[in-house]
Amino acid sequence: MSVSFVPSAQELARFAPEMALALGATLVMLGEALWKSGSRSKLAALAFLTLLAAAALAVFAAGDPGPAFSNLLAVDGFSTFFRVLVCAAGMLVVLISTNYLRQEGHDSGEYYALILFSVAGQCLMAASNELIMLFIGLECSSIASYVLAGYLRDDKRNNEAALKYFLLGSFASAFFLYGVAWLWGASGTTNLSELRRLLLDPSSGVSVTVTAAAAALLLVGLAFKVSAAPFQMWAPDVYQGAPAPVAAFLSVGPKAAAFAMFLRILMTTFVPLRGRWEPVLWAVALATMVIGNFAALHQTNVKRLLAYSSIAHAGYILVALTAMSDTGAAAAMFYLAAYTFMNIGAFAVVTYVAGRGEKHVELMDLAGLSRRSPVMAAVLSIFLLSLTGVPLTAGFFGKFYIFKAALDADLVWLAVLGLLNSAVAAYYYLRIIVMMYMQEPSAGAGPLPAPGAGMRWALAASVAGTFVLGVAPSLVLDYATASAPLLR
Amino acid sequence: MPDLSQVLAAQVPLGWYLILSVILFVIGAAGFLIRRNIITVFMCIELMLNAVNLSFIAFSHKLKMVDGHIYSFFVMVVAAAEAAVGLAIILTVFKNRETLEIDEVSSLKL
């Protein structure tokens, strides 16, 4: 195999989104150093435009799909879907962050630079076709998110969130990496397509036992990153302690990218080991749904409640992964798109209600929101109904496709238990809506100030996304269905 | 005097390196779960990463491929970046709480 060390223009075009994001992040840091302190909003705008450009470059690169850099990257419909998705999540988070940072007195460029670096890592995770590249992308995304989780460094809750996220995240990365080492030792390759070929070929001499053990280590690492049971315990502490916009980011961006990784590894490389994965995934998916939903029932802190709800949603997506079919992969992709809009939207409203110093993040602080700010109460109700899975919202079709994929794959019990779980979830989502509309605001809670422009745009985009995916799901689903089989 | 690398390669079988790497990894993982000092916990993670490096190098020798060396450099660079961020986070925790006991950093509800 002859390898050229000079990248061709074609390869550079396929790697362009990551390069744009890294360049944009560097420019934001330079701007932070060079511009006067009055021009912070310019940095947010620069970050937003970089994310927009990266998404556009990802779409542009999809016009000419194929491998790049000796098959390290694979630009296909699947990677394009997730690249655009994480860039969109980044844009929404930048929009809801500007006002929050100003209010907390920490409005500086490094926040946006960190978001951009993290999104660059996530794009790399979506597009990598090789285990070491996946690891580099994972670490790029994680290390930036550790800092983001503790962004307000004088706040004790932030410190604690960052510490827990960092320790458990690095622990998980070590497991993932050890799995990579053993896979490489057993097969002599880290390329996913090559691994698949070797595993399918009985004469290759690759030990199935060692590969399965290595796959188990990989599964531990991935389960940590998507907050699947029994490795979900970091999520509530991190989402509760981190600044609200960062919690919105962590619950969507890194999770979507980790699921992209999960899907790619599962659907390409480990199809030959399917019999060994399936029972494990079955149990993990069920445990994740049950733990997430039942723990969310008696939470009093809104951020913590949303953290448990996001664990439960990871469980639903794992149901789609357990199906291990093209429809399952497409359902997971659709669900992640729907989840991005509704979860960032819900966290955005929480950010807005929390106020200065995040003093109002208890469930009681949402009581009577319909009187203090009718629009916000209505918007939050839409997101919560979508998270519940009510028809006409994105969440309904997300759940519908996931359970349909599970039934198609003969996972009847998992589908039934999943449906029962969503009924449990309805209780705590609807309870918030009841509190907002039926209860009086607590004493001393006046009308809320008008939201900033960024917040308004982010909420409008999230509401629009929730409804568009709920009314015309085929817009996204057709693309997902077409690109899922390309994974092999 | 024979070259040490040749002696090690000729007389120490691959299995021993791998067993050592498994032992190091398990010590790291167990230490992560048992130890209560944040710095020690962090060192346990580094131990796990070094176990990974050891197995990369051992496999690299067995497979006669240089890739393992390169991977272990990747791991070292990532571990260094992680250490920089991690120690900074530990410093801010210490500054705000004046403790490095992990059980005392638990103001968030369990």
Interface residue B47 vs chain A (CB under 8 A): no
B35-53: pLDDT as tens digits: 888 999 999 999 999 999 9
B9 occurs within a structural domain: yes
Quote the pLDDT of residue B62. Answer: 86
Residue B2 distance to chain A (closest CA, Å): 28
CATH of the domain at B63: 1.10.287.3510
Quote the pLDDT of residue B9. Answer: 64
Quote the pLDDT of residue A487. Answer: 66
Note whether B85 contacts A147, CB cutoff 8 Å.
Answer: yes
DSSP letters spanning B25-80: HHHHHHHHHH--BHHHHHHHHHHHHHHHHHHHHHHHHHHT-THHHHHHHHHHHHHH
Note whether B45 contacts A170, CB cutoff 8 Å.
Answer: yes
Note whether A178 contacts B107, CB cutoff 8 Å.
Answer: no
B98 occurs within a structural domain: yes
Phi, psi angles (nearest 5°) of residue A359: -85, -20
B110 occurs within a structural domain: no
B12 occurs within a structural domain: yes
Quote the pLDDT of residue B44. Answer: 93
Residues in CB range of A27: below 8 A, 6 or more apart: A46, A50
Note whether B59 contacts A185, CB cutoff 8 Å.
Answer: yes
CA-to-CA dists, residue A10 to A120, A342, A488, angstroms = 19, 36, 22
B76 occurs within a structural domain: yes
The residue to which tokens 């079709």 are assigned: A397
Interface residue A151 vs chain B (CB under 8 A): no
Q: How many CB pairs under 8 A join A and B?
A: 112
Interface residue A357 vs chain B (CB under 8 A): no
Residue B36: exposed, middle, or buried by beta-carbon count in 10 A (0-12, 13-18, 19+)?
exposed
B68 occurs within a structural domain: yes
CA-to-CA dists, residue A255 to A1, A15, A228, A247, A325, angstroms = 36, 22, 11, 12, 21
CA-to-CA dists, residue B18 to A15, A187, B23, B97, angstroms = 36, 15, 9, 41
Quote the pLDDT of residue B106. Answer: 75
Quote the pLDDT of residue A270. Answer: 81
Quote the pLDDT of residue A488. Answer: 63
Q: Tell me the residue range of the domain where B69 lies.
A: 4-104
pLDDT along chain A (488 residues), means of 10: 72 91 93 78 90 93 85 89 94 92 85 94 92 93 93 87 92 93 89 85 80 88 90 91 93 93 86 82 92 91 92 93 88 93 93 85 85 89 92 91 91 90 91 89 77 90 93 88 76
Taking only Cα atoms into account, the Rg of chain A, rounded to an integer number of angstroms, comes to: 22
Smallest Cβ–Cβ distance between A174 and the set B48, B59, B110 belongs to B48
DSSP reduced 3-state for A481: helix
Which helix (H) or strand (E) is A162 found in, with range? helix A156-187
Quote the pLDDT of residue A63. Answer: 86
Residue A392: exposed, middle, or buried by beta-carbon count in 10 A (0-12, 13-18, 19+)?
middle
Contact assessment for residue A103 and residue A55, using Cβ atoms and an 8 Å cutoff = no
Note whether B52 contacts A170, CB cutoff 8 Å.
Answer: no
Smallest Cβ–Cβ distance between A156 and the set B29, B81, B96 belongs to B96
Separation of alpha carbons B75 and A167, rounded Å: 17
B109 occurs within a structural domain: no
What is the count of structural domains for chain B? Answer: 1
Quote the pLDDT of residue A11. Answer: 86
Quote the pLDDT of residue B10. Answer: 66
DSSP reduced 3-state for A227: coil
Quote the pLDDT of residue A208. Answer: 81
Which residue stretches of A324-373 are H helix?
A: 326-354, 369-372
Separation of alpha carbons A453 and A461, rounded Å: 12
Phi, psi angles (nearest 5°) of residue A67: -80, 165
* Residue A451 per-residue DSSP state: P
Separation of alpha carbons A387 and A424, rounded Å: 12
* Residue A411 per-residue DSSP state: -
Domain boundaries, chain A: 11-487
Contact assessment for residue A246 and residue A149, using Cβ atoms and an 8 Å cutoff = yes
- Cis (ω within 30 of 0) for the bond into A230? yes
Quote the pLDDT of residue A92. Answer: 94
User: Residue B110 pLDDT more than 60?
Assistant: no
Burial A156-166 (b: 16+ CB within 10 A, else e): bbbbbbbbbbb
Best residue in B53, B85, B95, B99 to probe A by mutation, most A CBs within 10 Å?
Answer: B85
Interface residue B28 vs chain A (CB under 8 A): yes
Task: Tally DSSP H helices, then E strands, for chain A.
Answer: 20, 2
User: What are the start-end ranges of the E strands in A61-139?
Assistant: 66-68, 73-75
CA-to-CA dists, residue A195 to A72, A142, A192, angstroms = 13, 26, 5
